[in-house]
A and B are shown apart, each in its own frame.
Chain A
Amino acid sequence: MSDAIAPTPPARAVSLHATDARTRRRNAAEKRFKAYGLTAIGIGLAFLAALLFAIVSNGSAAFTQTFVEVPITLDAEEIAAAESSIVKTSKYREIIHGALLEQLADAGIETDMDAAELGKILSSSEAAEMRDFALANPERMGETVRFDFLASSRVDGYLKGRVTRDALARDQNLDAAHLDLVDRLAEQGIVVKRFNWDFILGADASDQRPEQAGIGVAMLGSFFMMLVVLALALPIGVAASIYLEEFAPKNRITDFIEVNISNLAAVPSIVFGILGLAVFIQFAGLPQSAPLVGGLVLTLMTLPTIIISTRAALAAVPPSIRAAALGVGASKMQSVFHHVLPLAMPGILTGTIIGLAQALGETAPLLLIGMVGFIASNYPDGVVSGFTDPNSAMPAQIYEWAKRADPAFYERAWGGIIILLLFLMTMNFIAILLRRRFERRW
């Protein structure tokens, strides 16, 4: 440095207590920068708040559902007649609609609607519900059973304030006259709104009955995919990182592999989807729409994340630990497995959980392997069929709902987002907990 030969500046005849112009400018710049930062944080928080508000206000309605209580006398002859037709449920439907009309008369509500017209306030899922009950309980023939049927999505929307009388004026499915009846029935406690477990535990339903749709089967699909990802990505990822970090020689080949792993982490997920379609389904002949294939695809997607975080965790273990282990005569492998790996474990687990959370929220690759559509309609029979039977996943189910025509599905899509977010938050919370509890600092 040439400070020594630079001419000393003339002493300034100003007080250190008074701020001069330059200092003021510097202070002002600092203040401005703080203000920028605060604004940025404020905008971020505002977006987050708006997002959470939108999700909760749109989605919370999906967790309650309107039910209509209808007492039905099970008549063995009627049921036998219904069972002998092609579309058995349509005969059951007639029985139910007749019973509903009687229920109205008993409650002292007058109506000039016929049974079929009146039946529009019920979901079309009612017939299957009654049929399942009648077939499962043949000993209860002749008894009067109180059924709790789902109300149709428009009745439900009316009680939730989503459907208005004006909107119904041009709706062919329901009239304002139906709503008058619903009001009377609600007063009498025959139509009730309550918490709907079927939304969380149930299967998807077709376009004509959004009120019946649930995310439960898709949740199982996500669960089985996550099992596949965990079972494959964790061992493969950890083994690869340990080798690369601790054993591999530093040369061009390992450099090349490292660069590629980093690049893979940035590959758009849809690419993995098309790869999965080509390799796992078309080439290896694995079944379509199966969580097994979804899990394999998501494994490919998650591996780079896990490898990178595992390597970072291994690299953070101080070399003195390794040196000490080797110094007392441990082999290289013993030093890694007995000393380095346990210390790196919190980091590895955190990385794995973050990777899983990413995979849980991923939709794009699933589009290509046939996991979007009317798919999550059957519960898997067992563990094996859980992997191989066609199923959807939570984000794919949400995407599917958001696409459908009936606005009631839109509400369920938001409700699904709430459930998905709860899962993601739980996973992230576990990751934070692990890090806080087990992390060691040197």
Chain B
Amino acid sequence: MSIAKLTASSLAIAAVTASAAVAQSRDNVQIAGSSTVLPYASIVAEVFGENTDFPTPVVESGGSSAGLARFCEGVGENTIDIANASRAIREGELEECAANGVTDIIEVRIGYDGIVFASRIDGPDFTAFEASDWFTALAAELPVDGEIVENPHTTWNEVDADLPDAEILAFIPGTKHGTREVFEEKVLLQGCEDTGALQAFLDSGMDEDAAESACMAVRTDGASVDIDGDYTETLARLDSNPQGVGVFGLSFYENNTDKLKVATMGGVEPTTETIAAGDYPVSRPLYFYIKAAHLGVIPGLKEFAQFFVADELAGPDGPLAAYGLVSDPELAATQAKVANEETM
């Protein structure tokens, strides 16, 4: 081990004649995590760099789980200061953090993100979805006439007569995305309950956990495609499959209204207003987590966090809302929380 370390560091020293530079303290805030939060974080980082004497923070993407994993690696200049997440931190991650000495964590909710169901603007006429449509179209198995069978549906109008006669082809977020979790809980599980399939699963002798996972199991015969990349990839898939329907974030849709048309969910059109009011059913909170041990060590960290939740940025008239973030009605409480450094 020590030989490896020696080799590595001697390589480093060879590269930089001023070897002290490596040990020099970090003066910029480092952030990593959810690709959904990335645009917001980078907008704030940019404005922060313009408005203060601190350097522009560095924002990396990689996904909520990857970001939180790096966040929990430990305390020190070689670890990130803030993890962005499109879901709340999990119990297991908190334990992992605690095991590595990351005990004081400040949870900051920046607002909400809507998940929208959109298709090509010149594609079939998808205008209104219900959660039950999605469950019936995408479930791996579902009860038909009292028997649990493999999903027999091939076109949307078999699922719901109001939907167009188009082949079922859905592009949904892959399992590494935080969006997938919201999709499963708020759409598939909800649809499963609405259609009575959950009850049917329970009646067939499954326990509650098994029934819920049966609800969230997605068919694997090609009608549903997991997208592990970004929404850009989903958009590209729709380009080559005019019949398809994709799952997007509200902000992505709003930036691509020339190519996409959105469908209502449960009769509600996704807009920042309907999401803020809680009418639109498929939305989720966005968070970032601050390592409290780095406050006062990394210059600009607290200022950046305060800047992020300031009314001018995260408020309803700020640039984040303009980009597609649904601002949090309880922003004032969040601002106080950051100002007082309240840990979890």
Interface residues of A (CB under 8 A from B): 85-90, 124, 127-128, 131, 163-164, 166-168, 170-173, 205-209, 228, 231-232, 279-289, 292, 295-296, 299, 370, 372-375, 377-378, 384-385, 387-390, 402-407
Task: Give B1's nearest chain A residue, CB to CB.
Answer: A283
Q: Which of B7-15, B93-101, B336-344 contacts A (4 or more CB under 8 A)?
A: B7-15
Other contacts beyond A280-B8, A387-B21: 11, CB < 8 A: A232-B11, A279-B8, A281-B78, A285-B78, A288-B30, A295-B15, A374-B59, A378-B56, A384-B16, A405-B232, A405-B256
Closest-CB distance, B55 to chain A (whole angstroms): 5
Q: Which residues of A contact B77 (CB under 8 A)?
A: 287
Closest-CB distance, B162 to chain A (whole angstroms): 23
Q: Is B258 interfacial (CB 8 A cutoff)? A: yes
* B interface SS class: helix
Q: A86-B310, A284-B8, A374-B42 are in contact. Are A388 and B60 (CB under 8 A)?
A: no
Q: Which residues of A contact B252 (CB under 8 A)?
A: 405
Q: Are B51 and A87 in contact (CB under 8 A)?
A: yes
Identify B15's interface contact among A90, A128, A231, CB under 8 A.
Answer: A231
Q: Is B69 interfacial (CB 8 A cutoff)? A: no
Q: Are A124 and B319 in contact (CB under 8 A)?
A: yes
Q: Is B41 interfacial (CB 8 A cutoff)? A: yes
> Which chain B residues (172-201) contact chain A, with CB distance < 8 Å?
none
Q: Are A407 and B49 in contact (CB under 8 A)?
A: no
Q: What's the Cα separation between A172 and B42 when bound, in Å? A: 21
Q: Give how many A-B residue pairs fall within 8 Å (CB-CB).
A: 163
Please list the 8 inter-chain residue pairs (A to B) with the smallest Cβ-Cβ separation, ordered nearest first: A167-B258, A374-B42, A373-B60, A207-B39, A87-B312, A128-B50, A284-B8, A206-B42
Task: Give A292's nearest chain B residue, CB to CB.
Answer: B15
Q: A170-B258, A370-B60, A405-B232 are in contact. Are A207 and B8 (CB under 8 A)?
A: no
Q: Is B129 interfacial (CB 8 A cutoff)? A: no
Closest-CB distance, A80 to chain B (whole angstroms): 15
6 cross-chain CB contacts under 8 A? A170-B257, A207-B42, A287-B77, A374-B41, A375-B59, A384-B24
Q: Which residues of B contact A374 (CB under 8 A)?
A: 38, 41-42, 45-46, 58-60
Q: Is B90 interfacial (CB 8 A cutoff)? A: no
Q: What's the Cα separation between A372 and B60 when bound, in Å? A: 6
Q: Which residues of B contact A292 (CB under 8 A)?
A: 12, 15-16, 22
Q: Which residues of B contact A279 (CB under 8 A)?
A: 4, 8
Task: Give A377's nearest chain B residue, CB to CB.
Answer: B56
> Which chain B residues (224-269) contact chain A, with CB distance < 8 Å?
229-232, 251-252, 254-258, 261
Q: What's the Cα separation between A178 and B47 when bound, in Å? A: 25
Q: Are A283 and B4 in contact (CB under 8 A)?
A: yes
Task: Give B76's nearest chain A residue, CB to CB.
Answer: A285
Q: Is B61 interfacial (CB 8 A cutoff)? A: yes
Identify A171's interface contact among B21, B30, B73, B258, CB under 8 A.
Answer: B258
Q: What's the Cα separation between A374 and B4 when bound, in Å? A: 32
Q: Are A289 and B8 in contact (CB under 8 A)?
A: no
